[in-house]
């Protein structure tokens, strides 16, 4: 399992325990958060320290969506627009919005690559729903499939052209969910056809080169009793077979309450469902998984 893991770290430097885990049982990659990011020089040093333990091929991911989902408190990361702002711009002038998203994502990607990152967990492909929980909100490019797909494609191309792999999220769509999956188990009761129609941005970006897709910790009550992350129906049947995705399927963070309280069990269930990248972001979750390996 360790070769599927992307793990969080405790702070701005590796602990002795983290160093031991990384050397003895290297993961696929690491993911950084605000707690790990004090300055550009420190982030570079941390990722260099990780790779001195694991090897140069180790992935380094982060959530730099723009707007409120921002981990590093310095330019260009700390003053970027919300996705929804580009949605408003798109309604006025689509070409201007597309170019603005591309340029912002390219500049962000270049800055990420300079620090040592390989993957950015963006773009958000969820549609905005006014009745949905605010956890998505302004993180969405809009409430129409075409608008979301076009702007998210510009984001993906900007990141890719800068040498950063884009991770589209949260399949098959978190916008309608009635709760925040960090702290609860959200549900969506819309019919299957509606969910599939609103997941169309994923299909379009995959056809255009998206190689990484992150799942949603959401139960779609019309189809399955499990959240999508641990659902063979959503991961295997829909994303792999129906959509035809052959890239990497990432679980959302397995420390989130949306997938239960037992991180090793959630990791096992996600693997069995067909996820091949397992995000374990919180130090206590990393410890539980490594002690269970």
Compute and round to an integer the Cα radius of gyration of the chain: 18
Give the number of other Cβ atoms within 10 Å of residue 185's Cβ.
17
- Which residues are the active-site residues? 182, 252
Q: Which residue has the tokens 């570079």?
A: 44
Token digits of residue 50: 């990780």
Give the whole-angstrom CA distance, residue 167 versus residue 156.
Answer: 8
Give the whole-angstrom CA distance, residue 245 versus residue 108.
Answer: 26
Which backbone phi and psi does 245 adopt, to 5 degrees? -80, 125
Q: Burial letters for 90-100: b for 16+ Cβ neighbours within 10 Å, e otherwise?
A: beeeeeebbeb
Please spell the DSSP secondary structure of 94-109, one letter per residue. HHHHHHHHHHHHHHHH
Give yes or no for a contact between 213 and 249, defined as CB atoms under 8 angstroms apart: yes
Give the whole-angstrom CA distance, residue 155 versus residue 169.
Answer: 13
* CA angle centred on 264, ends 6 and 1, rounded to 5°: 50
């Amino acid at each position: 399992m360790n070769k599927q893991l992307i793990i969080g770290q405790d702070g701005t430097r590796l602990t002795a325990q983290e160093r031991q885990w990384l050397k003895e049982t290297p993961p696929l990659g690491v993911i950084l958060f605000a707690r790990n990011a004090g300055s550009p020089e420190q982030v570079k040093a941390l990722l260099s320290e990780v790779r001195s333990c694991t090897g140069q091929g180790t992935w380094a991911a982060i959530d730099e969506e723009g707007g409120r989902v921002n981990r590093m408190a310095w330019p260009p990361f700390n003053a970027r627009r919300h996705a929804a702002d580009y949605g408003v711009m798109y309604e006025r002038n689509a070409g201007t919005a597309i170019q603005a998203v591309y340029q912002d994502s390219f500049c962000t990607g270049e800055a990420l690559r300079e620090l040592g990152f390989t993957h950015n967990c963006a773009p958000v492909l969820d549609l905005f729903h006014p009745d949905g929980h605010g956890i998505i909100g302004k993180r969405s490019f809009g409430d129409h499939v075409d608008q979301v797909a076009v702007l998210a494609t510009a984001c993906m191309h900007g990141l890719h052209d800068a040498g950063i792999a884009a991770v589209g999220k949260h399949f098959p769509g978190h916008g309608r969910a009635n709760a925040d999956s960090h702290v609860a188990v959200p549900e969506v009761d819309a019919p299957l056809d509606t969910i599939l129609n609103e997941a169309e941005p994923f299909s379009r970006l995959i056809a255009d080169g998206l190689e990484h897709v992150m799942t949603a910790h959401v139960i779609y009550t019309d189809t399955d009793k499990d959240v999508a992350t641990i659902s063979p129906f959503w991961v295997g049947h829909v994303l792999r077979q129906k959509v035809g995705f052959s890239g990497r399927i990432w679980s959302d963070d397995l420390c989130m309450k949306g997938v239960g309280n037992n991180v090793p069990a959630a990791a096992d269930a996600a693997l069995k469902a067909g996820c091949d990248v397992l995000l374990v972001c919180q130090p206590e979750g990393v410890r539980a998984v490594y002690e269970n390996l």
